[in-house]
């Protein structure tokens, strides 16, 4: 497996596009895929989708489904007909999370990658052109046993991969796939009332390159941390014990 080298350019060239909503225009169907997600699927008796993510260049869709398979679709077909995936990446267990590389562009094959984490597996980095496994990133607990990440997020420059675990955030250098990682405990002990408790179920970096990110947990807390030192900047704990499943961060314009 070859290490991945980031091809991210200048931050000013990757600013998100601004779309203006017009309520007078009715939504039109642009894409549909159903043949691989039905009760008669060959891979699973009831293969339903669990999520879909649009590629950063807007040309591809990446889906997760109950048969532990990530499917890649191109959005250039006839919307009146069900599309078929052009690539599949099968995991060994339930897929917990998956993310596109933030600077992915179909015009640059080296940037066409995505990562996934699943039950009892290391973090995998997949080639979106060939479906091959490019690299694996392994984290180990205090018993030196493989620990599976619950959530994933690239930092804003695409050079590091952050992963959420039980009361812990670990991160990897994307260019060095191995078991080398940095660990950031969020509580001192399992019974500690201080810090962020529970499985870190979602991670999201601020897209404005301010080097801060948000982490939500099934323990019902949302915290904001600095990328470099892991300092806690903000803690939101008024969720009545309900688990957090998504924490998007909006990069506000100055």
Do the beta carbons of residue 143 and residue 128 sit within 8 Å?
Answer: no
In a domain, 13, yes or no: no
Among candidate residues 112, 137, 162, the one where a domain is terminated = 137
Q: Are residues 80 and 178 in the same domain?
A: no
Whether residue 159 is predicted with pLDDT greater than 90 in this model: the reply is yes
Higher pLDDT, 254 or 205: 205
- pLDDT band at 12; cut points 50, 70, 90: very low
- Per DSSP, the three-state class of 14 is helix
- What CATH number is given to the structural domain containing 175? 2.130.10.10
Kindly report the pTM of this predicted structure.
0.85
The boundaries of the domain holding residue 50 are 30-137
Q: Summarize pLDDT for 48-85 with one digit per residue, the tens.
A: 889 999 999 999 999 999 999 999 999 876 776 778 89
Among candidate residues 113, 137, 161, the one where a domain is terminated = 137
- pLDDT band at 253; cut points 50, 70, 90: very low
How far, in Å, are 16, 57, 153, 170, 208 from residue 253 at the CA level?
Answer: 11, 22, 22, 30, 8
Q: Are residues 224 and 253 in the same domain?
A: yes
Q: Summarize pLDDT for 235-249 with one digit per residue, the tens.
A: 998 766 688 998 888
Do the beta carbons of residue 220 and residue 241 sit within 8 Å?
Answer: yes
In a domain, 181, yes or no: yes
Q: Summarize pLDDT for 194-248 with one digit per residue, the tens.
A: 889 999 999 999 988 899 999 999 999 999 999 999 999 999 987 666 889 988 8
- CA dist., res. 5 & res. 8, Å (int): 9
């Amino acid at each position: 497996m070859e290490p991945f080298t980031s091809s991210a350019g200048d931050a000013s060239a990757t600013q998100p596009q601004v779309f203006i909503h017009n309520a007078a225009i009715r939504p039109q169907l642009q894409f549909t895929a159903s043949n691989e997600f039905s009760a008669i699927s060959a891979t699973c008796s009831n293969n339903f989708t669990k999520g879909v993510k649009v590629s950063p260049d807007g040309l591809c869709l990446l889906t997760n489904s109950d048969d532990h398979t990530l499917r890649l679709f191109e959005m250039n077909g006839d919307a009146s007909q069900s599309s078929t995936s052009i690539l599949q990446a099968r995991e060994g267990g339930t897929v917990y999370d998956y993310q596109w590389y933030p600077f992915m562009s179909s015009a640059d094959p080296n940037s066409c990658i995505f990562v996934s984490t699943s039950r009892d597996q290391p973090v995998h980095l997949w080639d979106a052109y060939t479906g091959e496994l490019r690299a694996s990133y392994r984290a180990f607990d205090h018993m030196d046993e493989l620990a599976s990440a619950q959530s994933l997020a690239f930092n804003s420059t695409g050079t590091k991969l952050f992963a959420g675990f039980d009361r812990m955030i670990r991160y990897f250098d994307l260019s060095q796939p191995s078991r080398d990682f940095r660990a950031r405990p969020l509580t001192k002990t399992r019974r500690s009332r201080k810090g962020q408790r529970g499985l870190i179920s979602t991670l999201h970096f601020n897209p404005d390159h301010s080097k801060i990110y948000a982490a939500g947990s099934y323990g019902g807390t949302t915290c904001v941390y600095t990328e470099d030192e892991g300092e806690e900047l903000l803690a939101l704990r008024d969720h009545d014990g309900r688990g957090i499943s998504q924490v998007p961060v909006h990069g506000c314009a100055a």
